[in-house]
């Protein structure tokens, strides 16, 4: 496939921003749509006067545009404050409409899903973890064996934010359907980078957010297959009684515009994310550095990985893992913004103690699990923006090696 047409030259700081899985800068189109609506649809969409009706019309148009892009004709789209709220609404809200039972989650879930699972545990539910292999892929046979009473709900992260693993959602969903068990999918990292067509997915609940695909912060969405029982976390009349509070009309429009831009970009490249054409040459150059290894699936060997995602383990020449967090700090001094894991994990008071829980679940020891580095790309980048990345990583690695050896 030909390389994508280069976007306009980014602002200098965006040329070094390689942390799209944490968040992404709003696109020019998203900012324009939102600026226009700040003037025309600022009112409360529940008000019955003309100002409110104009806001309500904008909100429903955004919902319709999102549903069309997702082919979610038989689904309800419930706007939330973000993916964390959407995940909690999915798991806690669905559990309250079911007899107490068992929730299954994978060993590599996002902290938001782990927190929601813990809430169910406190409410009397059993929570069981489905193991993953060395690439972070769930064990489908273990899942199958657990899809028996009292299992009533399964939650899986589709695209793992730290190591890029894509889970076999079609196969997992088919198993859940056969067992008559509800499936929630965290599609936060996938939306905008892979085609997400709900009429072809065996999924009952799907959570997503706008800011990972160059939309605004502060708005997410839970997509519910009609007929799936759901109790609101926040009581109120808004969102069909599923989520109280005045809706963020302008943010919803920004979400719809961001998804339109992302799906049009996919369609223009045959359903594939053109960021993979930037990612793959960079990955090859990074893996040529001494002491740098890939974690998660290898896309060059058929591994199913997010197309804009690179995750690495970095060690010294004598094989000692180097601290990923220190590498992040040194790379930032060279103008590169990367990550050592998910942004939400980094906020934990125990982060760094024993390394990444995701890497440990994949079979890595504590020292290796603390040596992870994540690079995630966005549409604002051009090939020339990535030229210096391997050399800068090598320089950061050498600095840490010198400190370690006392030189």
Q: Which residues are tagged catalytic?
A: 344
Work out the end-to-end distance of the chain between its first and last CA atoms, rounded to an integer number of angstroms.
Answer: 46
Strand, coil or helix: 37:
helix
**Run of H or E residues at 153:** strand 151-157
Alpha carbon distance 74, 5 (integer Å): 36
Measured torsion, CA atoms of residues 161, 331, 378, 361, in degrees rounded to the nearest 10: -10
| Helix/strand/coil percentages in the chain, nearest 5 | 40, 15, 40
Sorted by sequence, the CB contacts under 8 Å of residue 218 that are 6+ apart come out as 81, 82, 211, 248, 251
227 in Cβ contact with 94 (< 8 Å): no
103 in Cβ contact with 95 (< 8 Å): yes
Strand, coil or helix: 187:
coil
* Distance, C-alpha 301 to centroid of its chain: 23
From the number of C-beta atoms within 10 Å of its C-beta (0-12, 13-18, 19+), residue 52 rates as: middle
The backbone torsions φ and ψ at residue 312, rounded to the nearest 5 degrees and listed phi first, read -130, 155
């Amino acid at each position: 496939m030909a390389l994508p047409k280069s976007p306009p030259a980014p602002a200098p700081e965006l040329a070094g921003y390689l942390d799209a899985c944490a968040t992404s800068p709003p696109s020019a189109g998203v900012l324009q749509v939102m600026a226009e609506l700040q003037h025309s649809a600022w009112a409360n969409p529940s008000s019955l006067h003309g100002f409110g009706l104009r806001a309500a019309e904008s909100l429903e148009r955004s919902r319709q545009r999102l549903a069309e892009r997702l082919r979610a004709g038989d689904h309800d789209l419930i706007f939330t404050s973000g993916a964390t709220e959407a995940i909690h609404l999915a798991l806690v809200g669905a559990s309250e409409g079911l007899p107490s039972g068992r929730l299954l989650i994978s060993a590599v879930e996002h902290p938001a899903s782990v927190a929601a699972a813990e809430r169910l545990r406190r409410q009397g539910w059993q929570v069981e973890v489905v193991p993953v292999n060395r690439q972070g892929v769930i064990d489908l046979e273990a899942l199958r064996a657990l899809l028996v009473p009292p299992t009533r709900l399964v939650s899986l992260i589709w695209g793992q934010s730290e190591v890029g693993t894509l889970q076999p959602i079609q196969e997992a969903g088919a198993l859940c359907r056969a067992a008559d068990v509800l499936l929630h999918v965290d599609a936060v990292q996938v939306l905008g980078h892979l085609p997400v067509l709900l009429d072809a997915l065996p999924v009952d609940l799907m959570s997503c957010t706008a800011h990972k695909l160059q939309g605004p912060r502060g708005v997410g969405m839970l997509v519910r297959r009609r007929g799936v029982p759901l109790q609101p976390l926040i009581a109120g009349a808004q969102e069909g009684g599923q989520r109280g509070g005045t809706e963020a009309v302008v943010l919803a429009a920004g979400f719809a515009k961001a998804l339109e831009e992302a799906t049009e970009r996919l369609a223009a490249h045959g359903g594939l994310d053109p960021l993979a054409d930037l990612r793959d040459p960079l990955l090859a150059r990074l893996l040529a550095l001494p002491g740098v290894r890939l974690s998660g699936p290898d896309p060059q060997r058929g591994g199913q990985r997010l197309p804009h995602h690179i995750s690495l383990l970095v060690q010294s020449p004598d094989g000692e893992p180097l601290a990923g967090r220190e590498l992040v700090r040194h790379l930032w001094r060279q103008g590169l913004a990367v990550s050592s894991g998910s942004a939400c994990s980094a906020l934990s008071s125990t982060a760094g103690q024993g390394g990444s829980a995701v890497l440990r679940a994949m079979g890595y020891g504590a020292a290796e699990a603390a040596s992870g580095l994540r690079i995630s790309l966005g549409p604002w980048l051009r090939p020339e923006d990535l030229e210096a990345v391997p050399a800068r990583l090598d320089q950061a690695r050498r600095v840490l090696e010198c400190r370690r050896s006392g030189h």
